[in-house]
Structure 1
Amino acid sequence: MQKKYFLFIFLLIGQLSFCQEMNITINSNNTPFKEFIEYLEKKYDLRFSYKDEAINGKKITLNIKNGDLKELLNKLEEQTLLEIDLVSNRYIIIKQKNNALTICGYLYDKGTNQAIADATIRLETTKKVVYTNTEGYFRIEDVAPNEVIDIQHRSYIEQKTTATSLANTDCIKIALELSTTILEEVVIQNYLTQGISRKSNGSILITQSKLNLLPGLTDPDVLESIQWIPGVMSTSESVSELNIRGGKSDQNLILWDGMNVYLSDHFYGMLSAFNPYIIKKTTLFRNGASAQYGNRISGVIDIQTENEIPQKINGGLGFNMIHADGYIALPIVKDKLGVIVSARRSFTDVVPTFTYKSFSEKVFQNTRILSSKNGINEEYDEEYTELLNKFYFFDFHLKSIWKPSESNKITFNILNIKNNLKNNVEILQDTISNRDELKTKNESIGASWQKKWSNNLEQETKIYFTDYGSEYIHDLKDDGYNTLLSKKNNVTELGLHLTFNYNIKEEQFLIIGGQFNQNKVGYNLEEQFYGNSSGNNKINDNSHSQIYSAFSEYKYTKEKNIFINAGMRVSGYSFNTNFNFEPRLYIEKQLNSYFRAKLSGEIRSQAISQFIELNEDDLEMSNQIWVLSDNENIPIVDSQQIGTGILFSDSGWDIDLDIYYKKSNNISILNPKSLTATDPETIWYHFGSGITQGMDVLIQKKYKNFNTGIGYTLSQTDYLFESIQPETFSANTNAKHNFRWSTSHKWDDLEFSTGFIWRSGIPYTQAIGITSTNPNDPDPLYDIEYGNINESILPNYYRLDCSASYRFYYSAEKKMRSRIGLSFLNILNHKNTINRSYKINYDSEPDIETIDKLSLGFTANLVFRLEW
């Protein structure tokens, strides 16, 4: 045994002596590796063993003077990223290393050439993070070649690259471009789940491409996703009726690439009208909104698509049990011009899937649509009955990005959203027919120009035009009698937005700008009667206004210390000589390593709102109409809100607590006592005030790839409408307690998410009897008598949801990938009552009939996607 050790040591010493004795002098510049090897074999009598595919495409640049063989081989390994072993005298083996790479680089400011310290270098797959030093240098070992490297710094535009491009021994220099639009640091990463973060300005940022599964969702629907955030909910399970901290849904500002959107849903609230796979990020303000946002008094949902020119062709196709969609991003001229196109359409008018049937039962319940589908005409033979029920939705988006120079960028946007419903029933033997048609649309077109005057000054100019339309027709023919109801609602908006962003210093930022909006709102209701007696009732309302706004905002931020956002917005209206002054303030202060305190205050106003128009021949989903303030019949709505709270973070635990108070003035309400009133003098709409007091809290725990969080809202919204009732009463959407628990777990390419929702029942006005307006008449008219407004409470609401998805790839490079997902909503199939109303049943003696609207029952959905 000792002889063997002695022989091994002897050979090792001999080999080292050989390496040291060889005197090598080489000067090579970009020489193909194969030629370089052949030269070494001939010059120094070496023998190399290798496969051609291992060395193909590699080139050598070396300058060695009087070096030894070991030095040569080490330098060759560094340049080629291959494993090069000297196995005996003059015999060398070259082979592929394992896939792991070592990456490195230097970050510097593109404008000043100064090193960038404390930048975050993140590996998207493994989540490994390192930071640059004072020289802007970083280095990471054992990195997969296909790993995506995300480079971030709070003062610079985010940049992504691949590990292969950074696997260079010279540690390449990477230039970052100063961002003059984002200064706020991220305070909480993975807020509820990966892809959602909370920023120091109080906003919630959703990065769509990084968003993990949320309970019950197969697609990352943006308006469904934000409902898991405390303070945001929909008591009707509709994304078109989001209530943010006591506000009504029409008080939310929804923007798509800076364009105001008036139709935000498909399938009458069952999903949002925005294709989630082309959204880059969504910013949610529950309070403390920037002074740039105006003409709404509640939440802000700012949705933005990709704003950079695609570097290569990429896209995706997919479907779930409701719709199919596709998108593609094309670089037309490298680094100069790119185009992004997407389209989505439901196929339920052709294939009525199980998911569609479940959605339909929820949406069309208590309407003629569901009644005819379920056989309202069963007493007639099928051969004498014809039924047509057709529903589909569609959305389309086109965006072009043109960068004529480094300091100029021009984008062009088109957004088209449509919902179409047709329901026809004909009973041939009785010449009875009923036709319902409902169409809604939102068509927007816009352009923006970004000009960078210097590293500190940037200008952005936006112009857009939005056209919203809703049209409903009800046509009933019955044995010579004909009733025709036509209802239309149109909104057109022209918007111009000019902003200057000035970076005063690294910690100070100033925004100055102006905004112009011109709105035209039209409403037309026409009712025609034909038969023994003919008649025609018509109501028209057309109005327009211009809003001129100027705003300024000052931001001061000191990383991990304090953030201050102070702004002022001043608005003037064409129908009013007064100006509205809207100050905004948000402060967040780091108290110590664990706690941050926050304070906010704001005043806001809006001049356009939604009213409910009711007609006995309506479909329920057709009765929301937009109206414009005129300072006489419809006043401007305004609100004042203050809030405070505290944040705690330590060891994977996060607690976010907000306490707020909001008062709203000139809000409108439909008098519930007038719903069945026969008196033509009855006043339907009243204006009053509302007060919301609430607390939102999120408690979450993060451990590696596992997140669990509890969101809770304690809130009370009371209205005072003295023209209806002298006492205050609860708002229709007031759910005092709202509890949500969710978990998300990612294991390699497999994701799971589970969630439970429980909230208090919402209030309603109870019917207590029937009164006759003319009891002595042989054909009297009846009205329902109601108790105090919203004095009764519906049963509590609860729901259990879950979802899972798996991602797989078609090659080792992962250039093409697929995802399959499955979700279950309301697993326990609990029958939640989400609304209660009444009508008079005249089948025999007049009697009160209770109409309960139920929540979505057990619903399964399946998704498949292909992306490249």
Structure 2
Amino acid sequence: MLFPKSFHFLFGLFFLALNLSAQDKGKVMPFKKIMIAIEQQHQVSFNYTEDLIAGMQLNPPKKSLSLDQKLSYLAQKTNLSFENIGNQFINIYKKEQEPHIICGYVFSGTEKKPIENANIHLSTKIQVTTDSKGYFEFKKENANILFISHVGFTAKRIVTGNSKPENCLQILLEPEITQLEEIKANAVLASGISKNTDESFEIKPKKFGILPGLIEPDALQTMQQIPGVNSLDESVSSINVRGGTHDQNLFLWNGIRMFQTGHFFGLISVFNPNLAHTISIYKNGSSAFYGESVSSVVAISSTPETIEKNSFSAGINMINADVYAKYNLSKKSYIEISARKSITDFVETPTYKEYFDKIFQNTTITDFSQNQNIDYQSDKKFGFYDATLKYAQKIGAKDQIVLDLITIKDNLEVFQSATVYDINRSENNILRQQNYGGNLSWKRKWNNFNTTKINIYNSSYELLGNQKTTSENQTAIQENTVTNNGISLENNHTITSKFSVSDGYQFNEIGITNLEQVTNPDFYRRVKDVLRTHALILEAKYNDTLSGIYFKTGTRINYIEKFKKYIVEPRIQLGYSISKNLNLELLGELKSQNSQQIIDLQKDYFGIEKRRWIVSNNTTVPIQKSRQLSLNLFYKKGDWLLDIENFYKKVNGITTSSQGFQNQLEFVRTTGNYEIWGSEILVQKKMNHFLTWLSYTYNHNNYHFSNYQYPSFPNNFQLMHTLSWAGIYEKNNFKIALGTKWSSGRPKTSPDLSQIDLSDPVLVYNKPNNTNLHIFSQVNLSSTYKWETTGGIQYKLGVSILNILNRKNEISEYYRVSSLTNSIEEVETFALQRTPNVSFRISL
């Protein structure tokens, strides 16, 4: 009975040995191939010399083993030692060399990336350099003093002593701040405003100093101080960048496209100035991740780089009051809210009255009162508000989710009545403008070299005009609505400390509805258009601060479903530091845009906000396309700064209805382009607490309409010469700024009186934009003072005066035939008269 049991045991033992022998005698592989397989599976990198593994072959370890198990297996099968550095780098050396080797890695202290060709000087006058992985080694002595250095980094001295060889040194070198890197960091125009390497302007509202006429860091008011950026009618809803119309600019708030940018129909920005953390403004050379724009990009982000402490503030000025609060729910999450509302429901300040007179001049509302001089009565109600909500949550060490919501609304109600020849006439006008938006963002940092960000967003805009005329028993409704939805994916890959690549995909759907409804006589028209676009983006950036070369290039490939059309948009940014003080930059871009604002009739929406959004139909309303090139010279030495930029820009596919003509082209519908070239110059000098700057802009801007009798003439938005100056004084908590702005008048079209019969006048014009308005000139002042109590409560008082000299500046002029006098009238619109403002803010 024992024999069979012993036999079964020996039989099993035999097959076990046979099986182990079969494993040992499996397929033998070169040692290098085994290491490559381990590198790919475990995302590690081996450091070795070729002579260590020359001709070596063995059976590979099982794939199911862990990294440490595989290294143990290899150590048993070879005469080699394996040192695992953070599951990222693995050093290989002979076992007998172990007591005689000291090794190390050199990394950047900020980016934690390997530094290649770092110099390691030993006290024995021996020198070694690091490889591409930052690795070095040398023979061990009783004590070694190391001097580690690399150009662009602060040198370091280390005493190795009798450290064990199995522990490779990990050395961090901190970047050395040089004058070359500081050239972009200094204030431009005011503290809190800087110019980046990619030529964008960056505004940090929390660090903002002061500018003439501004007591708050209003994003859209501030950007008008930048050379090449203007608003011909003083409106933040009509910002012209290098000759472009306002709708050709892309305005983003935390990734949400905003179709309404102004309160009070353009005199106040809808973006709460006490909220934004960073505002980036691109006149040219914008990233390929920005689409749907043929002019500038204004990207506003209210997400801080790190979680900040709890805070609360509240303020009031002569137009509105606001509150802001931020509360940390935990170490990894916080909530942030802001709200702002006009105070016009309670009080009519001098500032409000000046704004009201400016906005409603030469509209159907003032026309009503001008045509009546008997028993005229009017009741006006106006108000606006905006609110934002942000919720941010970090999940683990790699993920973050952010939710942003924004709501904006302006509401105007005007009731007017009059009795003329015993006949009662009255009108009840309602004008509402609002924009809602939301964005859900997820960001994941896979490792130090790769990140992914996904945005899902929505933006909804509505402009509604409702007019009821009791005497004629008529109701007229006009409505313009926009719905914009989309999703974007962005991946960022850091290849080396100097080179990175980004790629992504964007889907965008925009639907625009225009409604017109009239009773007595009855009329109804409703048109809705939808466009869906897909975009693939690829972008690469090379930045070597040591050699002074910055290069960024990208391509955006758009596909429009409805037209089955591809549009390729390359972008380029190239910068070179000629010296520590002088930079040369070349920027270029091709861009396109599928939506635009047009004016059907100048009296639409009571003539107040008469523009409506439409989408391209690829025929009578073409896709707008632009190309732009600019060359910039930036000089900074000591307290002097000189910035000179020459540019060329052409935009194709514009329509006459998008340009706001009030001459013979008002009812002409044709397409064409505008072409602009010019120069922008900024000179700045800082002296202790005093900063002064002078800017000059020259623009030569022409329309080209090949199917019109005058194929070429000056652009409506041309300001051929613009000159600005500011003097700013900042010391401790007191700031004051005085400045002036001067520009040649915008073009206008005069009537041809030689061809007009004054007894029965019909308007006949000269060539479009054949002359100009008078020169625009304005002097502005602002000042703020801040103080803090012992309890940590901070107070801030601000005072500003626009147009101190109360100059009557004409900003537009057109002609019409008066039905009352049967004569030609010259209708002029003027800028703000002297307008004071006072603000007070408390912060905890």
1:304–1:672 Cα change, 3 Å:
closer
> For residues 23-76 of structure 1, what are the alpha-carbon distances to aligned partners after superposition, in whole Å with 9 as ceiling and x for unaligned?
xxxxxxxxxxxxxxxxxxxxxxxxxxxxxxxxxxxxxxxxxxxxxxxxxxxxxx
Contact residue 770 and residue 783 of structure 1 kept, 8 A: no
Which residue in the other structure is 2:829 paired with? 853
Distance 2:473 2:355 in 1: 32
Choose from 363, 374, 379 the match for 2:374.
379
Letter in 2 for 1:861: N
> For residues 434-467 of structure 1, what are the alpha-carbon distances to aligned partners after superposition, in whole Å with 9 as ceiling and x for unaligned?
1111000000011100100000100010010110
Number of matched pairs: 686
Contact residue 210 and residue 737 of structure 2 kept, 8 A: yes
Which residue in the other structure is 1:594 paired with? 581
Residue 376 of structure 1 deviates from its aligned partner by 7.0
Which residue in the other structure is 1:820 paired with? 797
Choose from 553, 556, 566 the match for 1:569.
556
Which residue in the other structure is 1:835 paired with? 812
Distance 1:188 1:441 in 2: 38
SS at match of 1:824: strand
Contact residue 752 and residue 803 of structure 1 kept, 8 A: yes
Letter in 2 for 1:576: F
Choose from 640, 652, 655 the match for 2:627.
640
Which residue in the other structure is 2:483 paired with? 492
Contact residue 415 and residue 426 of structure 2 kept, 8 A: yes
Which residue in the other structure is 1:537 paired with? 523
Which residue in the other structure is 1:450 paired with? 443
Which residue in the other structure is 1:393 paired with? 384
Residue 618 of structure 1 deviates from its aligned partner by 4.5
* Mapped pair 1:224 → 2:221: yes
Letter in 2 for 1:556: Y
Residue 596 of structure 1 deviates from its aligned partner by 1.0
Which residue in the other structure is 2:470 paired with? 477
Residue 113 of structure 1 deviates from its aligned partner by 11
SS at match of 2:570: strand
Distance 1:801 1:671 in 2: 32
Which residue in the other structure is 1:277 paired with? 274
1:655–1:508 Cα change, 3 Å:
same
> For residues 805-844 of structure 1, what are the alpha-carbon distances to aligned partners after superposition, in whole Å with 9 as ceiling and x for unaligned?
1001111x6x210000100100011111100112211224
SS at match of 1:216: coil
Q: Which runs of 5+ in 1 are unaligned?
A: 1-105, 118-130, 138-174, 530-534
Choose from 279, 284, 306 the match for 2:303.
306
1:538-687 maps to which residues of 2 (within 5 A)? 538-559=524-545, 561-614=548-601, 616=603, 618-670=605-657, 684-687=668-671
1:835–1:718 Cα change, 3 Å:
same
1:286-305 maps to which residues of 2 (within 5 A)? 286-305=283-302
Residue 769 of structure 1 deviates from its aligned partner by 5.0
Distance 2:437 2:280 in 1: 20
> For residues 670-710 of structure 1, what are the alpha-carbon distances to aligned partners after superposition, in whole Å with 9 as ceiling and x for unaligned?
399996889xxx95322101101011111101123221111
Of all paired residues, the percent bearing the same amino acid is 29
> For residues 188-211 of structure 1, what are the alpha-carbon distances to aligned partners after superposition, in whole Å with 9 as ceiling and x for unaligned?
510011100011111111111111
Letter in 2 for 1:553: E
Choose from 448, 460, 463 the match for 1:467.
460
SS at match of 1:619: helix
Residue 187 of structure 1 deviates from its aligned partner by 1.4
Moved more, 424-433 or 732-741: 424-433
Contact residue 265 and residue 273 of structure 1 kept, 8 A: yes
Q: Which runs of 5+ in 2 are unaligned?
A: 1-106, 119-151, 159-171
Which residue in the other structure is 2:52 paired with? none
Which residue in the other structure is 2:782 paired with? 803
Choose from 336, 343, 353 the match for 2:332.
336
1:568–1:475 Cα change, 3 Å:
same
Residue 484 of structure 1 deviates from its aligned partner by 2.1
* Mapped pair 1:722 → 2:689: no
Residue 591 of structure 1 deviates from its aligned partner by 0.5
* Mapped pair 1:508 → 2:499: yes
Letter in 1 for 2:492: N
Distance 1:177 1:416 in 2: 44
Distance 2:754 2:504 in 1: 57
Letter in 2 for 1:859: T
Choose from 339, 344, 351 the match for 2:347.
351
Which residue in the other structure is 2:415 paired with? 424
* Mapped pair 1:865 → 2:841: yes
Letter in 2 for 1:522: T
Letter in 2 for 1:415: I
Contact residue 110 and residue 177 of structure 1 kept, 8 A: no
Distance 2:630 2:200 in 1: 14
Letter in 1 for 2:752: I
Which residue in the other structure is 2:132 paired with? none
* Mapped pair 1:521 → 2:512: yes
* Mapped pair 1:436 → 2:432: no
Contact residue 770 and residue 785 of structure 1 kept, 8 A: no
SS at match of 1:200: coil
1:772–1:672 Cα change, 3 Å:
farther
SS at match of 1:622: coil
1:40-439 maps to which residues of 2 (within 5 A)? 108-109=109-110, 133-134=154-155, 187-307=184-304, 310-333=307-330, 335-370=331-366, 379-380=374-375, 387-427=378-418, 430-439=423-432
Residue 641 of structure 1 deviates from its aligned partner by 0.8
Contact residue 316 and residue 328 of structure 1 kept, 8 A: yes
Residue 593 of structure 1 deviates from its aligned partner by 2.4
1:660–1:107 Cα change, 3 Å:
closer
User: Deviation above 6 Å: which 4+ runs of structure 1?
Assistant: 175-178, 183-186, 671-674, 770-773
Choose from 679, 703, 722 the match for 2:687.
703
Distance 1:204 1:786 in 2: 42
Letter in 1 for 2:515: N
SS at match of 2:492: strand
SS at match of 1:348: coil
Which residue in the other structure is 1:172 paired with? none
Distance 2:114 2:549 in 1: 28
Distance 1:247 1:671 in 2: 11
Residue 392 of structure 1 deviates from its aligned partner by 0.5
SS at match of 1:505: coil
SS at match of 1:224: helix
Question: TM-score, normalising length from structure 1?
Answer: 0.75
Distance 1:683 1:864 in 2: 48
Which residue in the other structure is 2:674 paired with? 690
> For residues 393-419 of structure 1, what are the alpha-carbon distances to aligned partners after superposition, in whole Å with 9 as ceiling and x for unaligned?
100000000011111010001100101
Residue 636 of structure 1 deviates from its aligned partner by 0.4
Letter in 1 for 2:499: Q
SS at match of 1:262: coil
Letter in 1 for 2:219: V
